[in-house]
Amino acid sequence: MNNLQEKISQLKKRRNAVILAHNYQPGEVQDIADYVGDSLGLAIEASKTRSDLIVFCGVHFMAETAVIINPGKTVIMPEPKAGCPMADMITAPELVAEKKKFPHATVVAYVNTSAAVKAESDICCSSANAINVVKSLKDIKEILFVPDMYLGNYVSKHVPDKKFIFWNGYCSIHVMILSEDIKKAKEDHPNAEVMVHPECRPDVIELADKVLSTGGMVKWAKESKAKEFIVGTEIGMLHRLRKDNPNKAFYPATDRALCPNMKATTLEKVLWAMEEVKYKIEVPEDIRVRAAKAIEKMLKIA
């Protein structure tokens, strides 16, 4: 353990803090976290924590989610400017206007949205549980799915009895992964299984052996008998996969799939934020209460 890691460990005890990190965070940040996971796993872990201070190493909507389901607890982000371009592709006023166009539709909001958008939604979903969330809406015929049209399209293929209206949003990192990248990677590694994230383009998904959230990738990599994997998601995922499976090989579908927002957190920033308990994330109470209902509905299904 280096000096920075030791200082963070000591501060964690002193502050009664828990460090949560997304699978796309830099490897050194993942290594000092108490829990590393996907959006769903982080939301569940945040809802269970007894710590006074939640240090969220991820992007803004994730820290907001922790605030929403942990009223009274302090949530800080070591890099407060780390946002999500997809989450910024829809605002609460835009969703309100869209709901008026489709008054009979149930709004399913991907967790990759702001607290204000969640507050205008009926239920949230993650990439791990989106299919099950939509299937749980038994008597609902029309789904307004926001903001990721590619995840929505993937879900719609598994729930054909419902009509979907998609918002024109997408992950600017996952759309960089092209079908040509997958084909080239398969040529280079013919024995490798291909697993891709459901935020990918449909033609990329068609070439995959498995379509999984990052949490699903962690689980499948351990269970699969394959020794090699082509991974179609943000490249920070490879650190976790290689760490958990030292006897298996993991190759990025493309090195272009790098999210600068996810890479903005450093050990120094974690330490500084914890020392001063700064960069607190806050959500107005009226928005928090309404957003919590949509998240709680999701967590019951999860």
pLDDT over threshold 90, residue 301: no
Question: Is a pLDDT exceeding 70 seen at residue 1?
Answer: no
Residue 218: left (phi > 0), alpha (psi -120 to 50), or beta?
Answer: alpha
pTM for the predicted model, two decimal places: 0.94
User: Across the chain, what does the average pLDDT equal?
Assistant: 96
Q: What percent of the chain clears pLDDT 90, i.e. is strictly above it?
A: 92
Model pLDDT for residues 257-281, shown as the tens digit of each residue: 999 999 999 999 999 999 999 999 9
pLDDT tens readout for residues 220-247: 999 999 999 999 999 999 999 999 999 9
Residues 6+ apart with CB under 8 A from 30: 21, 23, 36, 236, 239, 240, 243
Q: Dihedrals φ, ψ of 63, to 5°? A: -65, -40
Instruction: Express each pLDDT in 25-45 by its tens digit.
Output: 999 999 999 999 988 788 788
Please check whether residue 220 is in contact with residue 195, taking contact to mean a CB–CB distance below 8 angstroms: yes
Three-state SS string across 236-259, please?
CHHHHHHHHCCCCEEEECCCCCCC
Copy the structure tokens of residue 189.
């590694």
For the residues 290-299, what does the mean pLDDT come to? 95
Strand partners, 110: 125
Q: In order of start, what are the domains of the chain with their CATH numbers?
A: 3-83+262-282 (3.40.50.10800), 87-171+288-301 (3.40.50.10800), 174-252 (3.40.50.10800)
